[in-house]
Amino acid sequence: MKRTFLYLILVSLSGLGNFLFAEDGSRLWLRFSDVTVNEKLFSGVSGRTDVFAASEFAHAWSQMTGDELLTQKHIADNSLIFALAKDKVVRNMRLSTEMKKLGDEGFLIRTITYQNKKLTLVAANTDAGLLYGSFHLLRMIQTNTFSDQIKVVEKPAYDLRILNHWDNLNGTVERGYAGRSIWKWDELPAKLSPRYEAYARANASIGLNATVLNNVNATPDILTTEYIQKIKALASVFRPFNIKVFISINFASPKQLGRLPDADPMRPEVQKWWKEKVKEIYRAIPDFGGFLVKANSEGLPGPMDYGRTHVDGANMIADALKPYGGLLMWRAFVYEPGDDRAKLAYKEFIGFDGKFRDNVIIQVKNGPIDFQPREPFSPLFGAMKRTPVMPELQITQEYLGHSNHLVFLAPMWEEVLKSDTFAFGKGSTVAAVTDGTFVKTKTTAIAGVANIGDDINWTGHHFAQANWYAFGRQAWSHQITSKQIAEEWTSMTFDKSQQTTKSSIVNCQLSIVEILLSSHETCVNYMMPLGLHHIFAWDHHYGPEPWCDIPGARPDWLPKYYHNASKAGIGFDRTDKGSNAVSQYFSPLREQFNNIEACPEKYLLWFHHVPWSHKMKNGRTLWDELCYRYDSGVQQVREYQKLWDKLESEIDSQRFAEVQSRLRIQARDAVWWKNAILLYFQTYSQMPIPFDIERPVHELDDLKKIKLDMKHHN
Ligand code: BDP
């Protein structure tokens, strides 16, 4: 990485651009032309003017002001900048320990007074740091937090902040709800869609620095010479934005592509095949990131097909990547049948702790099952004490209403990252056991499964952009609050779409933030409160199907496995009297989860099978509480509809109408969920729905007949 040092100087601001853009959501949160810059401007870029950060800043600047950003080349009176560059203020800073601590991607932004002028300085050790610093400064301007007293020092929590695309080479996207893949494989490498650069810019603006281009359910084709050329073309677009490219690979590739008899990791020809393939990739893309592997999971091939272990398979590929500094991300999403599914990944991997090469990192989903609306954290976090582990979050809303429901996921991820594992005593949060604080590793990382497609607004629902944004911000800083993220995103995304007064903009933004911050809990309430999980419709996971029964299906793919409803009660007994999944957690959590009185109610039915008449902390019976939770989920969505409708005059008509229409779907779906779940479970509880709650408007038998045509949901 090039060592560099740059400072951007804003003495004051002037000018106002007036560009007209369609309000179709395509500009994401980078709506620079809508920024009101209301002071007088003098700006300069000094140091190396060829720095990419400077051109990105200039790009935004010209949209904000309608003016070109002045660089030292253009400024008639550039003596100030030259003098500053030579001045001891800057020289001292260059050498300061503070600068050293910034590492490769950190930056500082500071107001200094120089020759009686207030200047804003962005400084970093590398081009990448400057890029992040410049976007941070832009964000301050966008969110009206720019001042003449800035003192910001930032560096990222994780080394690698990665989007995982589940994009197939045929252009479809697994669990994608925003159109087709943005990667136009047929056109690559010759034709580069302008979307690639826009994608890279958006990622850089929120601190993301890596991408896995293709689905974890990978086909061997991605490793053909033809595809390597296509990947190379994408990598060249992303490189200036400091984004490293990774791909998912299929473990059986040596057999299928290389025509070897098998893909046994102990077979020398197999090892050689991987070495050659990796060499070919690095010849084309010297800064290639590495591979992501889903092996022996959901029918995919892996080392266990040959009586080998995950360690054998991972280390073999890691050895091929090692000479080039490549990283191998190996997924722990495995659940060979045989025990409570929530225990399987831990059981499989815990014995491998400390046995992987140092360029292997284990990718663990946030919860032990599968990206449910709410899960306790996976017990693998903290348990692997000598192995790098990276959290995998799901940005795409597979289990949270696809792109029809407005659900802001930052609070869910914040809950996970801030959960205490107690692995190294109090304070060993999921964040701290994965960011290098407790487990010393060469590389730390966090991944989010992308929700991006080729829809004009990128993510299907306009508000789903907030989840892409939030993932980037939390990957950069796991200490940032959901509230701060919601406020930032809202003020960058819904700024001055209409010519309204300042106070109406503020009110509008307050309403949006209010919706965002409560929306995850709302969704949990109308889908799966109190620790319920996986009671979704078969396969597409949209809508309720707690009664689902597919003859011959794996039991742990069916809702009944998880809810266990009977006349006696409901929930999965994972206590020491049941599957004993609680034993995979550290004390005092395992005792807490094990004890029905101490277990947090949000996880009650995750860990316990509970009688319908069980007394909740608020004095209600479990059955009544369930009814009220579902009902409050419905009421909350209705509230969002009202809040949104009130904003009509504040929001551009296109985005207003599109969100309004999806809120209607969400409200109907919430009623559907409530009716389906309560009517179905009532056949077991045989208790009345509390009389102050709105009555169901469906018949259970009709709800059971619903089979969705998922074309409408993709
Ligand atoms: C599940 C999805 C499936 C993915 C799998 C995975 O339903 O489409 O392939 O996870 O993460 O959530 O591998």
The 10s digit of each residue's pLDDT in 244-254 is 999 999 999 99
Instruction: Specify the range with the lowest mean pLDDT, choosing from 15-24, 273-282, 309-318, 356-365.
Output: 15-24
Nearest residue by C-alpha to atom 1 in ligand 1: 370
Which long-range contacts does 698-701 make (Cβ < 8 Å, 24+ apart)? Answer: 698/671, 698/672, 700/675, 700/676
pLDDT band of residue 2 (cuts 50, 70, 90) is very low
280 neighbors 326 (Cβ within 8 angstroms) = no
b/e code 27-58 from CB counts within 10 Å (16+ = b): bbbbbbbbbebeeebbbbbbbeeebbbbbbbb
Say how many Å lie between the CA of residue 629 and the centre of ligand 1: 28
User: Which superfamily does 160-480 belong to?
Assistant: Glycosidases (3.20.20.80)
For the entire predicted model, the pTM comes to: 0.96
Rounded to whole angstroms, the Cα distance separating 111 from 117 reads 10
Please state the φ and ψ torsions of residue 211, each to the nearest 5 degrees.
-145, 140
CA 164 to chain centre: 9
Where residue 713 falls among pLDDT bands split at 50, 70, 90?
A: very low
- Most confidently modeled range among 498-502, 580-584, 707-711: 580-584
Tokens of 14: 């002037």
CATH number given to 525-572+609-704: 3.90.1330.10
> 104 pLDDT band (50/70/90 cuts)?
very high
Q: From its phi and psi, is residue 613 left (phi > 0), alpha (psi between -120 and 50) or beta?
A: alpha
Cα 484 → chain centroid: 16
413 lines ligand 1 (CB under 6 A): no
Q: Whole-angstrom Cα distance, residue 134 to residue 56?
A: 8
**Which residues are CB-neighbours of 329 under 8 A, at least 6 positions away?**
212, 246, 290, 291, 292, 293, 360, 361, 362, 363, 390, 445, 447
CA triplet 397, 163, 438: central angle to 5 degrees?
A: 105
The rounded Å distance from CA 645 to ligand 1 centre is 36
* Nearest protein Cα to ligand 1, atom 9: 217
User: What distance separates the 2 farthest-apart alpha carbons in the chain?
Assistant: 83
Asked if 343 and 368 touch (Cβ cutoff 8 Å), the reply is yes
**What's the CA-to-centroid distance between 298 and ligand 1, angstroms?**
8
| pLDDT of 84 over the 80 cut | no
Q: Alpha-carbon dihedral of residues 252, 253, 258, 260, nearest 10 degrees?
A: -10
Q: What is the pLDDT of residue 40?
A: 44
175 lines ligand 1 (CB under 6 A): yes
Q: Which ligand 1 atom lies nearest to the CA of residue 399?
A: 12
pLDDT in tens, 275-310: 999 999 999 999 999 999 999 999 999 999 999 999
Token pair for residue 679?
């009517």
Nearest CA to ligand 1 atom 12: 370
Which residues are identified as catalytic? Answer: 298, 370, 398
Matching residue, tokens 């697994």: 174
* pLDDT, average across residues 188-213: 98
DSSP summary character for residue 559: H
Give the number of the atom of ligand 1 that is nearest the alpha carbon of residue 365: 11
For 174-183, 197-206, 504-513, which range has the lowest pLDDT when averaged over its residues?
A: 504-513
Q: What is the pLDDT of residue 289?
A: 98
From edge to edge, which strands make up the β-sheet containing 117-123?
Answer: 117-123, 107-114, 151-154
Lowest pLDDT segment from 120-124, 226-230, 300-304, 615-619 = 120-124
Pocket test for ligand 1, best of 370, 393, 400, 538 (most atoms within 8 A of CB): 370
**Terminal C-alpha separation, the chain:** 40
Q: Are strands 327-331 and 290-293 parallel, antiparallel or unpaired?
A: parallel
Give the Å distance between the CA of 341 and the centre of ligand 1: 14
Separation CA 589–CA 426 (nearest Å): 11
* Closest ligand 1 atom, residue 216 Cα: 13
Q: For residue 173, how far is its CA from the centre of ligand 1 (angstroms)? A: 12
Q: Where are the domains of the chain?
A: 4-154, 160-480, 525-572+609-704
Between the CA of 17 and the centroid of ligand 1 the distance, in Å, is: 45
The secondary structure element, H or E, covering residue 474 is helix 465-476
Closest C-alpha residue for ligand 1 atom 13: 216
Inter-residue contact 493 to 607 (CB < 8 Å):
no
Instruction: Tell me the C-alpha to C-alpha distance, in Å, between residue 33 and each of 56, 388, 489.
Output: 14, 43, 16
63 pLDDT exceeds 80?
A: yes
331 near 392, Cβ under 8 Å? Answer: yes
Nearest atom within ligand 1 for CA of residue 174: 8
Which atom of ligand 1 is nearest to 541's Cα? 7
Local structure of 391: helix, strand or coil: strand
Other CB atoms within a 10 A radius of the CB of residue 180 amount to: 17
Whether 398 lines ligand 1, by a CB cut-off of 6 Å, is yes
Q: Find out whether the beta carbon of 370 lies less than 6 Å from any atom of ligand 1.
A: yes
Q: Indicate whether residue 534 lines ligand 1 (CB < 6 A).
A: no
Confidence at residue 50, expressed as pLDDT on a 0 to 100 scale? 67
Reported as a pLDDT band with limits 50, 70 and 90, residue 138 is very high
Which tokens in the block code for residue 136? 């941070």
Q: Is residue 375 within 6 Å of ligand 1 at its C-beta?
A: no
Reply yes or no on whether the pLDDT at 512 is more than 60: yes
Which atom, in ligand 1's list, is nearest to the CA of 166? Answer: 9
What is the DSSP secondary-structure string of 102-135?
TTTT-EEEEEEEETTEEEEEEE-SBHHHHHHHHH
Rounded Cα distance, 604 and 616, in Å: 10
Is 216 close to ligand 1, i.e. is its CB under 6 Å away? yes
Distance CA 259, CA 253 (A): 9
Pocket test for ligand 1, best of 165, 167, 175 (most atoms within 8 A of CB): 175
| Dist. CA 25–CA 349, nearest whole Å | 43
Q: Mean pLDDT of all residues in the chain?
A: 92
CATH class given for the domain over 4-154 = alpha beta
Residue 217 Cβ inside 6 Å of ligand 1? The answer reads: yes
**Angle, in degrees to the nearest 10, between helices 482-493 and 502-527:** 130
Ligand 1 centre from 295 Cα, in Å? 12
How close is the Cα of 22 to the center of ligand 1, in Å? 35
